[in-house]
Amino acid sequence: MDVLADVVASMRTGPADSGRTDVRGPWGLRFRDSFGATFHLILQGTAWLLPRAGDPIPLGPGDAVLLPRGAAHALADHPDSPLVDFDPTVEDPQDGPGARSLLLCGTYRLDRERPHPVLSKLPDVVVVPADPGRHRSLHTAISILGEELDARPPGAAAVVPALVDALLVLILRAWFEDNDCPTDRGWARALTDPTVVQALELIHERPGAAWTVADLAADVGLSRAAFARRFTDAVGEPPLTYLSRWRMTTAARLLRDHDRPLARIAKEIGYTSEFAFAKAFKRDFGVPPGTYRKQLVTA
């Protein structure tokens, strides 16, 4: 079980939307609030990221940006350049006499009603700078995307969406690696602590098991108290609290992606009855599971 991949899969509600943007200075693009997570890749040239709050951030070739909550922002060749609203259907919105920049801009469709802490605990702006010595997989993917989008060889229409889908995990993984600190709480630490990762893998692989803290502790080779303390310090919540969260996340994914009976879903995620499952689900999502499923169909 790959915890990060499982978390991302649980949040995805559809394919990514992305578009190639070729601009020459002076240029400036305004991005409105998004219901997903917005991302930008600087494939060629340079840019400035202008967040809604905070100072402008310079970007160069190979840099990747993720705005996990889709906050409004802008990209420009200079912080003072005039801005126009971004239109994903226009590949070359501003063609001036200045330097060229080739960008890939897009949005990942994610469930924002109940986001997993992997995303909800991230800062509003995540920047992974190009660094030849680090994150080789991410920067190789960005380099290939740049070549595919610039030259447009045969088959690019198949290669680009697959790489864009993979980029969300690659960006998150790179950011967590860069921000791993043994004394900090958070998922950067949780995903790099072998003991915590092992416990998370057990929960993700078998969310319907009747886990206790003692069971998980025994499986990872720690005492109950030592395990509970280590897990809580890394993840930010106790093991059984996270287990309950993941059960509801799994239930929402099953309701969204499958037509299984509610009683079967209840059993799969560890509830002894459909009634108990429905009560817990409504407490977390505000509506019973049957209503939640109907709302997805009519959305």
Say which amino acid occupies 266.
A
Cβ neighbours of 117 (radius 10 Å): 16
Note the pLDDT of residue 184: 67
Distance (Å) of CA 111 to CA 140, 157, 179, 189, 225? 28, 26, 25, 24, 34
Peptide bond into 115 cis (omega under 30): no
Note the pLDDT of residue 90: 81
Distance (Å) of CA 291 to CA 25, 132, 254? 51, 50, 14
Note the pLDDT of residue 150: 85
Instruction: Band the pLDDT of 13: cuts 50, 70, 90.
Output: confident
| Average pLDDT over every residue of 260-268 | 95
pLDDT at 78 over 80: yes
Find out whether 159 and 57 touch, Cβ atoms under 8 Å.
Answer: no
Instruction: Band the pLDDT of 182: cuts 50, 70, 90.
Output: low
Computed over every residue of the chain, the mean pLDDT equals 91
Structural domains in the chain plus CATH codes: 3-178 (2.60.120.280), 188-298 (1.10.10.60)
- Burial class of residue 59, CB neighbours in 10 A (0-12, 13-18, 19+): buried
pLDDT, tens digit, for every residue of 102-159? 999 999 998 877 788 888 889 999 999 998 788 999 999 999 988 998 888 999 999 9
Global model pTM greater than 0.85? yes
Distance (Å) of CA 70 to CA 33, 123, 216? 6, 11, 36
Note the pLDDT of residue 123: 92
Instruction: Band the pLDDT of 183: cuts 50, 70, 90.
Output: low
Note the pLDDT of residue 180: 72
Categorise residue 236: left if φ over 0, alpha if ψ from -120 to 50, beta otherwise. left
CA distance 201 to 246: 11
pLDDT, tens digit, for every residue of 220-241? 999 999 999 999 999 999 999 9
